[in-house]
Amino acid sequence: MIGITSMGIYVPAYRLNREEISRAWRTKSLGGERTVARFDEDSLTMAVAATLDCIKYGPHRPDGLFFASTTSPYKEKQAAAIIAASVDLSEDTRTADFTDSLRSGTIALSSAMDAVKSGSANNIVVVASDCRMGTGKSQFEQQFGDGAVAISLGNSEVIASIEGSYSLFSEFLDTWRLEGNAFVQSWEERFVVTEGYLNTMERIISGVMEKYRVAPSEFAKVVFYGPDNRSHANLARRLGFNLGTQVQDLIFQSIGNTGTATLPMMLVAALKEAKPNDKILVANYADGGDAFILKVTEKIGKFQEKMKEGDRKQIYISYERYLSWRDLVPSEDPRRPDSKPPSVTCMWRERKSVLAFYGNRCKQCGTVQYPPQRICAHCQGKDNFEAYRLSDKKGRIFTYAADYLTSSKDSPALIGVVDFEGGGRAMCEITECEPSEIKLGMSVEMCFRKLGQRGGVQNYFWKARPAT
Amino acid sequence: MNTIKDKVAIIGMGCTKFGELWDKSVDDLIIDATFEACEDAGIGLKEIQAAWLGTVFSGHTALSLSSPLKLQYIPVTRVENMCATGTEALRGAAYAVAAGACDIALAVGVEKLKDTGWTGVQPTSVIGRSTMGTNGTEIQLSPPAMFSELAFRYFEKCKVDIDEGRKLLAEIAVKNHHHGSMNPKAHYQNELTVEQVLNAPIVAWPLSMLDCCGVSDGAAAAIVTRTDLAKNFRADPIYIKSLTNVVGPYRDLITGGYDFAHVEENVRASKVAYAEAGIKNPRGELSVAEVHDCFTIHEMVIYEDLGWTRSVREDIEAGTFTLKGELPVNTDGGLKCFGHPLGASGLRMQYEVYKQLQGKGGSRQVKNPRLGLTHNLGGQLWGGIACISITGNSLG
């Protein structure tokens, strides 16, 4: 049996109320709110967070990692490898990026399914993540949200089996983004929705039902993509699904359209509520479509228990802060020296301590140290260490600084001295924390973040944030 | 162990005015400080047998000293130890004389910070690694932010809340500005009030802008010789009792355990220096001290680190460290009024102690001077370079 073995979702803590956007532009609000990745997040860091959760909840160590996004931080260079290194997967993990199409998430799922089916992999995490931008005043600016979702496929301990799949392509220019453009553009809405979305999705969904001889009424849930609530409802009516009971809501009201992550996020939402033996129809759209028929197994109940965690905090930001975070307004930095670009050789040599946040522990005296040392800082023993991972440890703020002098989009920059549970201390930037919140002894957890781009190199590292 | 006590004497010193010296170059500052020192010692440039230059950002190699002074084919060394660089240059010169490698040596410290256009100085990377390349994860912590990390835990240790603590810090700034107001060489010569310090913009909570030292240009220089030759140059040479350098293993951030309420290198350097100088009761025996008040919180911690107080609060309130107090500290205005041109600061402090010990302190003169101390801390709180000099106006 091949199917879903685990899932993880990451949505940023920050929210932009659509009323706030419409206030700035004097346009009509689409209602609800959208998520906003902080300036130290991008599709890659969000993918790391979702993948870590997926691995934590799942029964297997993955042997494959596929990354799907239209906003990969590098145009040339694999993001999946950075993610795999950051979540501490072994070198023999199969990695791939699936990019360019908004359907990349389900294209990657199809490929993962085939790989598992063929026996070349046992458990592949597919992580879809996007951080797209619409121009100021556009519908897209209100519609888009940022987020990531990871789904692992395997051949045992399956919570929902894949019973069938169907794909088609369609050459259709509805929304697109050219190389070098920051903003998504699109053709006129009527054409995009009626000829593009509705007709293509009708073909793909009826196609999969015909292929496997399933009637609409047999599905406990249908999960399909929609560009907006109205078109989504129209399609459901056309295909004869019951909007009230069968159709999975779009995540538009509280999150927004998260690009490649939209449909997999909806699927996760459906599985969180699913019961054993439920049949679920899944259909994604863009440049054609992908459809899957899933059957929920007995293992779902136990998994749903594991996923029940406290809600993360939500922080509402102003439109001006959003503009600053996205570099949409030129702004002045403090008069401080520029940081030197990182040395690539140095990053490579220290990749395990940078990307997976490993320190080491002295085998003689047990002292945990970060960064990893060769001579023990406590007992001066030489080269007698074991690797010790800190990224998964919680910690407490021993002391901190609120620095108004460094260049940060949110001034003051918060820097904490973190003492880790089980030993070890490191000085870290603190993220997702307002200056008034920080206290001595505050409990923190680690998260993977973007430090910025210097010398053309994307620079990532771990930061601390208030523990959930 | 052999010690340097009373083997070397300072026979001449020079110090430029510190400040925003837009019309002076690094070379100008080196020349002005060196010539004042030579004139003070009554020697010419040609009599210098070896020279040390201390600078962090304002020069590379010995050529940055030999070129402006046109030194003629003598040994010249450039040293760098962050904020302790000036004292390090003096150490090099003094130890060379003590070793018998030369009879007359020059130490110059210089820094020109105001040509960069920056606010404050460039931070060294927190991890303290090579400046040629890092893995990109070093935290860009500004110096005031680093020292602000001391405040929370030190206030807690002293059992004062943030508001009381900030007031004590402000008293230190007010004291140093009062001293600086009497010093024509200081960058800032204005008096401050506690309210002004408390109400200045916050730079790194709980430190306001006026808890921070200024950013300045400046240079200072010293001429040293063997004690037995010193009186050939002047009647009132100043004798070196100790020149201590203590460097930590950079352990305290790597492993934890550091309390952020003291600086270990300060404590250890003072113990070594007192032992070498034969000082048993520093508070009673020292006549004057110039300490590293880069930020008021550091001066506050130093009072305890260097063994001068059991209750910082009581002593600040009693005025122990003011000009008229039991142990006057930073009588020239300190880093607070001179700013901190890194390479120059240690020698600028020595200049004040030298003049005080000679009874040339003018309106800032301390009573019955006998022994004086200078103190610098370079690097980081959790891994630093502490340099202490103790000098006296008599032998033994």
**Count of Cβ atoms closer than 10 Å to residue B396 Cβ:** 8
Q: What's the pLDDT tens digit per position in B276-301?
A: 999 999 999 999 999 999 999 999 99
Among A370, A377, A423, the residue with its CB nearest the CB of B249 is A377
Would you call A336 and B144 a contact, using CB atoms and an 8 Å cutoff? no
Nearest-CB residue to A427 (from B119, B126, B201): B126
Q: How far is A346 from chain B (nearest CA, A)?
A: 5
- Interface membership of B161 toward A (CB under 8 Å): no
Q: Find chain A residues with C-beta within 8 A of B202's C-beta.
A: 402, 404
Give residue-wise pLDDT tens across range A23-39. Answer: 999 999 999 999 999 99
DSSP assigned state of B243: E
Under the banding of pLDDT at 50, 70 and 90, the label for residue A456 is confident
Answer whether A208's CB lies under 8 Å from A283's CB.
yes
A-B CB pairs within 8 A amount to 141
Strand, helix or coil at B203? strand
CA distance A114 to A302: 27
Cβ neighbour number for residue A232 with a 10 Å cutoff: 20
Q: What is the pLDDT of residue A338?
A: 73
**Candidate from A396-405, A422-431, B128-137, B230-239 with smallest mean pLDDT:** B128-137
pLDDT in tens, A100-148: 999 999 999 999 999 999 999 999 999 999 999 999 999 999 999 999 9
Contact yes or no for B119 and A334 at CB 8 A: yes
Apex B169 CA angle, B165 and B175, nearest 5? 145
If one counts every other C-beta atom within 10 angstroms of the C-beta of residue B73, the result is 6
Q: Judge whether residue B303 has pLDDT over 80.
A: yes
Confidence of residue A430 (pLDDT cuts 50, 70, 90): very high
pLDDT score for B247: 96
**Which among B316, B294, B304, B327 is positioned nearest to B168, based on CA atoms?**
B316
Q: Tell me if chain B has a CB within 8 Å of the CB of A397.
A: no
The answer to whether the Cβ–Cβ distance between A342 and B117 falls below 8 Å is no
| In the predicted structure, residue A385 carries a pLDDT above the cut 80 | yes
What are the tens digits of pLDDT across the range A339-358? 778 889 999 999 999 999 99
Cα–Cα distance between A109 and A98 in angstroms, integer?
10
Q: Looking at the predicted structure, is the pLDDT value of residue B317 above 80?
A: yes
Instruction: Considering only the beta carbons, identify the residue of B144, B149, B202 that sits closest to A417.
Output: B149
Could you say which DSSP state residue A340 is in?
Answer: P
pLDDT for the residue numbered B253: 83
Domains of chain A, first to last: 3-325 (3.40.47.10), 344-466 (no CATH)
Q: Which of A415, A335, A407, A430 is nearest to B146 (CA)?
A: A415
B365-375 pLDDT, tens digit per residue, is 999 999 999 99
Q: Is B213's Cβ below 8 Å from some Cβ in A? A: no
- pLDDT for residue B127 is more than 50: no
Quick check: A94 pLDDT over 70? yes
ipTM value, please give it. 0.92
pLDDT above 70 (res A246): yes
Which residue is associated with the tokens 């302790």? B84
* Site from B57, B122, B139, B202 to mutate, A interface, most A CB atoms within 10 angstroms: B139
Q: Is A294 helix (H, G, I), strand (E, B) or coil?
A: strand
Amino acid residing at B144: P
- What's the pLDDT at A468? 84
- Residues A229-242 have a mean pLDDT of 95
- What is the phi/psi pair of residue A235, to 5°? -65, -40
Contacts of B132 in chain A (CB under 8 A): 343
Tell me which residues of chain A, numbers 333 to 392, contact chain B at a CB-CB cutoff of 8 Å. 334-337, 339-343, 345-347, 349-350, 353-354, 367-371, 373, 377-378
> Does the pLDDT at position B131 exceed 60?
no
Asked whether the beta carbons of residue A347 and residue B116 sit closer than 8 angstroms, the reply is no
Q: What is the pLDDT of residue B123?
A: 64
B-chain CB neighbours of A336 within 8 Å are 118-120, 140, 142
pLDDT score at A6: 98
Per the structure block, which two tokens stand in for B159? 């059992």
Asked if B209 and B203 count as a contact pair (C-beta separation under 8 A), the reply is yes
At B186-196, the pLDDT tens digits run 999 999 999 99
Across residues B371-387, what is the average pLDDT? 95
Q: Provide the shortest C-alpha distance from residue A397 to chain B (in Å).
A: 11
Strand partners, A291: A166, A283
C-alpha distance from residue B13 to each of A178, A390, A431, B33, B316 (Å): 68, 52, 50, 8, 31
Residue B47 DSSP symbol: G
Could you report the per-residue pLDDT of A309-344, keeping only the tens digit for each? Answer: 767 889 999 999 999 999 999 888 777 777 778 889
Question: Testing the interface with A: which of B254, B294, B380 to mutate, by most A Cβ within 10 A?
Answer: B254
pLDDT of residue A333: 78
Return the amino acid letter for A63.
D
Q: Could you list the active site residues of B?
A: 83, 340
Is pLDDT at B59 greater than 90 in this prediction? yes
Q: How confident is the model at residue A409 (pLDDT cuts 50, 70, 90)?
A: confident
Domain B143-213+237-392: CATH superfamily is Thiolase/Chalcone synthase (3.40.47.10)
Put simply, the chain B residues between 244 and 303 with a CB less than 8 A from any chain A CB are 249-251, 253-258, 260
Which of A405, A406, A461 to mutate: most B Cβ within 10 Å? A405
Distance CA B109, CA B79 (A): 9
Shortest CA distance from B131: residue in chain A: A340
- Asked if the C-beta of B208 comes within 8 angstroms of chain A's C-beta atoms, the answer is no
Averaged pLDDT score across all residues of chain A: 95
Distances in whole angstroms, Cα of residue B238 to Cα of each of A169, A420, B224, B360: 90, 51, 9, 13
d(CA A223, CA B391): 82
The arithmetic mean of pLDDT across residues A431-447, rounded, is 96
Instruction: Say yes or no to pLDDT of B126 above 50.
Output: no
Q: Give the pLDDT confidence of A270-299 residue by residue, as tens digits.
A: 999 999 999 999 999 999 999 999 999 999
- Model confidence pLDDT, tens digit, residues A68-90: 999 999 999 999 999 999 999 99
In this model, does residue B79 exceed pLDDT 90? Answer: yes
Which of B137, B202, B204 has its CB closest to that of A461?
A: B137
The CA–CA distances, whole Å, from A373 to A152, A420, A423, B127, B256 equal 36, 17, 15, 12, 14
CB under 8 Å to B171, separation ≥6 — which residues?
Answer: B194, B316, B317
Domain ranges of chain B: 8-119+220-229, 143-213+237-392
Across the interface, whether the CB atoms of B255 and A429 are under 8 A apart is answered: no
Taking alpha carbons only, the member of B294, B153, B342, B212 closest to residue A404 is: B212
Nearest to A31 by CA among A18, A20, A22: A18
Q: Is B396 on the interface with A (CB under 8 A)?
A: no
Nearest 10 degrees: CA dihedral of B51, B57, B63, B68?
A: -80
Which listed CATH number (1.10.390.10, 3.40.50.620, 1.10.287.4070, 3.40.47.10) goes with B8-119+220-229?
3.40.47.10
pLDDT confidence of residue B129: 52
Q: Do B255 and A398 touch (CB under 8 A)?
A: no
